């Protein structure tokens, strides 16, 4: 069982330690004198495309590619205080010092409702998830027990953030690799508590709800059943999770890890499902790393149910994709993808699945 300890950073931000075993003292205080920061986040509505944009100009001053000796996510040592005051940790989660969204943003901006202009404060919550204290490893190299602790931390933070009145959607994700645009190389992910349901998730939720109303069953359950029957895009299948390449994959190498049971969000997973998830997720990431002769840059994100709606028809899964299309070659988002949101995939999903299987 994962053990949680709560602490606070010098500027009052929350810090949580998640340990594989009990008995670790993580009570070391944050000795830094942190200068005050201002959060100036807004959300603005685009009436043409019916979607929100977050405006967060204060993030220009965030930490950018520090050397390993100055990594703010490593444990603190004598003479070097970091965002993690403890001398060691298993998993740590803390409020981002330069958040895209923050509860205190409500004090900075009012609400504008003057057609066609509509905006409001960028309320919400952004947290950093440090997967391990080891700067020179990756999620894929964690032990199964350690990966399970990360999953427990994500589930716990999802439950906590879902209780905030400002939050409508909790998105847990990882950006890995400089080619993705990562500015801190320490193994870590993030959790965003959005004040709205992101457009891609909203469209998926509405589609799943409509299918459930018409057919009386879950759309993703049916998709999973059909994919298992077809077989050619299945990467791996265990007791509780199935990894597959979607039929209409957008990225050359893209996979989804889908719960076999109909379940909406991480906090609802059973102990056995969490154990199997740790194993299945590690296996999937390791398969991505075997695609090329250098570590694969990727983005991984959890698709959970919106906080206050669509829970009955939503089906939990994670999505992993890389921006590489071949060794030394990136899949650039050009006119069709970035401008028209019409994806052109360079590799068939069946071929991608075969490569991820190691066929």
Average pLDDT over residues 58-84: 81
Please tell me the predicted confidence (pLDDT) of residue 68.
73
pLDDT at 1 over 80: no
Query: To 10 degrees, what angle do helices 271-289 and 349-357 make?
Result: 100
Average pLDDT over residues 156-170: 97
Q: What angle do CA 225, 221, 194 make, to 5 degrees?
A: 140
Contact at 8 Å (CB) between 15 and 94? yes
Task: For 327, list phi and psi in degrees, rounded to 5.
Answer: -60, 125
CATH 3.30.428.10 in the chain is located at 3-196, 200-357
Average pLDDT over residues 90-117: 89
Q: What angle do CA 332, 336, 339 make, to 5 degrees?
A: 95
What SS3 state is found at 234?
strand
Please tell me the predicted confidence (pLDDT) of residue 62.
57
Question: Which of these, 250, 257, 244, lies nearest to 322 by C-alpha position?
Answer: 250
Question: Which of these, 19, 11, 32, 128, lies nearest to 76 by C-alpha position?
Answer: 32
Please tell me the predicted confidence (pLDDT) of residue 65.
65
Please tell me the predicted confidence (pLDDT) of residue 282.
98
pTM: 0.95
Please tell me the predicted confidence (pLDDT) of residue 40.
78
Average pLDDT over residues 97-104: 90
CATH homologous superfamily of 200-357: HIT-like (3.30.428.10)
Q: Which residue has the higher pLDDT, 254 or 1?
A: 254
pLDDT at 217 over 80: yes
pLDDT at 59 over 70: no
Please tell me the predicted confidence (pLDDT) of residue 109.
76
Please tell me the predicted confidence (pLDDT) of residue 38.
73
Catalytic residue among 188, 240, 303, 315: 188
Pairing of strands 51-55, 42-46: antiparallel
Domain 3-196 in CATH 3.30.428.10? The answer is yes
Question: Can 315 be counted among the known catalytic residues?
Answer: no
């Amino acid at each position: 069982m994962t053990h949680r300890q709560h602490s606070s950073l010098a500027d009052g931000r929350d810090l949580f330690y998640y340990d594989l075993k009990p008995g670790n003292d993580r009570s070391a205080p944050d000795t830094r004198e942190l200068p005050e920061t201002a959060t100036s986040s807004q959300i603005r509505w685009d009436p043409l495309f019916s979607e929100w944009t977050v405006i967060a100009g204060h993030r220009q001053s965030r930490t950018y590619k520090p050397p390993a000796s100055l990594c703010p996510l490593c444990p603190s040592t004598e003479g070097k205080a970091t965002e993690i005051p403890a001398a060691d940790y298993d998993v740590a989660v803390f409020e981002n010092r330069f958040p895209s969204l923050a509860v205190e943003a409500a004090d900075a901006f009012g609400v504008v409702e003057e057609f066609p202009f509509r905006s409001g404060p960028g309320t919400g919550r952004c947290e950093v998830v440090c997967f391990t204290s080891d700067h020179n490893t990756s999620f894929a190299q964690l032990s199964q027990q350690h990966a399970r602790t990360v999953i427990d931390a994500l589930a716990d933070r999802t439950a906590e953030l879902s209780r905030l009145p400002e939050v409508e959607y909790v998105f847990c994700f990882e950006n890995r690799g400089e080619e993705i645009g990562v500015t801190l190389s320490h193994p870590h992910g993030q959790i965003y508590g959005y004040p709205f349901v992101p457009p891609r998730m909203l469209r998926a939720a509405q589609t799943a709800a409509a299918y459930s109303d018409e057919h009386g069953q879950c759309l993703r359950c049916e998709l999973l059943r059909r994919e298992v029957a077809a077989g050619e895009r299945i990467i791996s299948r265990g007791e509780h999770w199935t990894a597959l390449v979607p039929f209409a994959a957008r990225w050359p190498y893209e996979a989804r890890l889908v719960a076999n049971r109909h379940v909406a969000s991480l906090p609802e997973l059973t102990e056995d499902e969490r154990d199997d998830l740790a194993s299945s997720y590690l296996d999937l990431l390791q398969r991505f790393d075997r695609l090329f002769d250098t570590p694969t840059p990727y983005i991984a994100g959890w698709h959970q149910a919106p906080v206050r709606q669509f829970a009955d028809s939503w089906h939990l899964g994670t999505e992993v994709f890389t921006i590489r299309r071949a060794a030394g070659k990136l899949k650039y988002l050009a006119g069709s993808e970035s401008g028209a949101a019409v994806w052109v995939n360079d590799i068939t999903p069946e071929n991608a699945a075969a490569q991820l299987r190691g066929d």
